[in-house]
Structure formats: C-alpha cells, structure tokens
Structure 1
Amino acid sequence: MTNKFYRLDIDGLRAFAVLAVIINHANHNTLCSGFLGVDVFFVISGFVIMKSLLRQPMRSFISFLNGFYIRRFKRLFPALLIVIATTFFVLFYIDPNPYASINTGIFSLIGLSNIYLWRQSLDYFSADISFNAFMHTWSLGVEEQFYLIVPALMWLALQLHFMLSSEFMGNHDSGYDEWRCVC
C-alpha cells in the first residue's frame, strides 16, 4: 500500500542533500559547501513535520503530542539504537580511549548529543571532538529538539486560530480546513 502523502520530489531533495554531505566528507575539496546538505535536510524535515502535524485531527494537547512523539520514536529510535550499539561494540576494539565517544552516544539517545559536543568543544582539556565516533549525531540532536518545540507551538497556534475564528466569525467549525490547505 502506498502512502497518499508520499512525495517523490521530497525524497529527491533528501537524496541530493545526503549526497552533498557524503561527498563533502569523502573529499572536502570536491564539494567544499557540501555541509549545506544538512541545512537542506533540516528544511525538508521541517516541511515534512509541519505537513504531518497539519494532517492530524484536532484533539487534546496531550493526545496530539503523544501521537506525534510515538510516531517519531517508532521511526527514529530503532535505527539509532542499532547504530549506537554497533558503534559501541566497534569502539571498544579500535579506540584505546572510547569514553568521550560513548558519552556522546548516550547523549544522542536522549537527543542532546549536539549540546554535549558543544560543551566538549569548550573544554580546553577534552579530546578533539572531530575524532568522536558520534559526531554525526549532532544534527539528530538539533532535529529532536525541533521535534520537542514545534509540535507544541503548532498545537497552540491551531488552538488560537480556532478560538479567534469562532470568536470573530461566530463559527465554531471555521478555519481547520483552511489551515490544512495551506500546505
């Protein structure tokens, strides 16, 4: 069964963004701006998340957020857990001092690896973070923090929209279909 909301063009943009980052990591001189692929990926994620939120039925704040977070968890956490477990295992065999990387991996499980890496980069005596096996998880940390803030703001914006629509237009059903059609 195909998803009626699937967008091939979005997957194409994702592919270009990922390819740009891979080329940049493989040889910085080949595509020195390849890190912009991460920015493109952030924009795509924001767009997809907003569309997903706008398709959700209006319900209580807790059920709105629970539904959103359960879907994100089911989609992201299994792959993250496999990557972290595999990397932990390999680190103990190839890295004489794997603990800084392991701490980053642990922080990535709760969506805070970007903050942990930032704090490590400020510590004069810490190991160079560019050699951290979980350096790539910083962008996932940013995305997870986006996921914590935006759904709540979206729900509040929709509630405000409905409240203002019903107050000024006298119609309790107005606005939701209009809001959903924006994207």
Structure 2
Amino acid sequence: MPDRIFWMGSAIALVAGLAIAQGDRLARSLTAEAAPAELLDGCTDIPEAVALAETLRLRGIAVDRALADLERRKGEIAAAEAQITARLLSLKKAKAALGETRAGQDAGRSEGIERLIAVYDAMKPAEAATIIAALPPDFAAEILTRVQPDAGARIIAQIDPGQAAVLTAHMGARRLTGD
C-alpha cells in the first residue's frame, strides 16, 4: 500500500511540476496591460473605438487577475507537493519502523513459544495433559505439534480419548494448511 501511495504522490508531484512550468510560460506570454490613454487620442468621438478600448481594458484586467490567480495556485501546488513529499517520507519511515517492530515481535514470539515448548517437553505427561486439556484446541494442537514426538505421544495418551481425537484432528489440519 505505501508503494502505491508513493507512486500516486510521485504522479501528483509530476503533474504539479508540469502545471507550474506551463503556468510560467503562460504568464510570460499573456501579460496584459490596460489600453494606454494615448491609444485613444483623437478617437474619443468614435463610440465604437471607445467601447472597444474599454472592452480591451476590462479584458486586460481580467487576464491580469487570472494570471495573479494562476500564480497563487502555483504556490498552492508547490506547497501541496512539499506536503505530499514530506508525507511520503514519513510513510516510508513508518513502514521501515513497522517492519523492524514486526521482526522483533516475531523473534520474541518465536523465542517465547520455544521456551513454552521446552517446558512441556520437561513436564510429566500427566501434568502436561491436564494443562493441555484446558487449553483451546487450536493452541493445544500447536503445542503438541512442536513438542518432541515421544513427549507428545505420552501427553496425548493421558488426555480423554474424545478430546485427544479433536486435538489430533487440529494437528492434522495444521499440517495440511502449513500453519
């Protein structure tokens, strides 16, 4: 998922960069100026010329406002791009930290399970059978699949036959699914 976020952020940043570059070219080519007063010298008696000059002046103002808005948006895009980049970096760091945490937890969990298995291997079969009979079947099956085979056989022999059958079925299912 973070890889997908990285690529999406990169695509957005690329589009934003292209928009900024395109905006610079557009701003340079479309600089508008209101009609200078000398343009109308001698034409004030022609209403069409005055109206045209006023229309051009208003359009020039509108273009200037649009260019100013484009510049503002360009700044917003640059700020958004910086935020996206910072967020991507933060997500990458979080992903790396999560991977390290999971690796540490898996190692600790595995070490804890190995110690637990060693305890059951060292117990007398009748004592181990009493405890295992009280555990949930899937957890008990996990323990029985990991203890030494001869210790597991002696423990199962001490468990009620009906419950031993359930545990054996769980053990077989675990082996078939690869858990």
TM-score bin (small chain):
0.3 to 0.5
Larger Rg: 2
In the superposition, the TM-score normalised over structure 2's length comes to 0.34
Taking structure 1 as the reference length, what is the TM-score of the superposition? 0.33
* Greater relative contact order, per chain length (Cα 8 Å cut-off, separation 6+): 2
**Structure number having the greater helix percentage:** 2
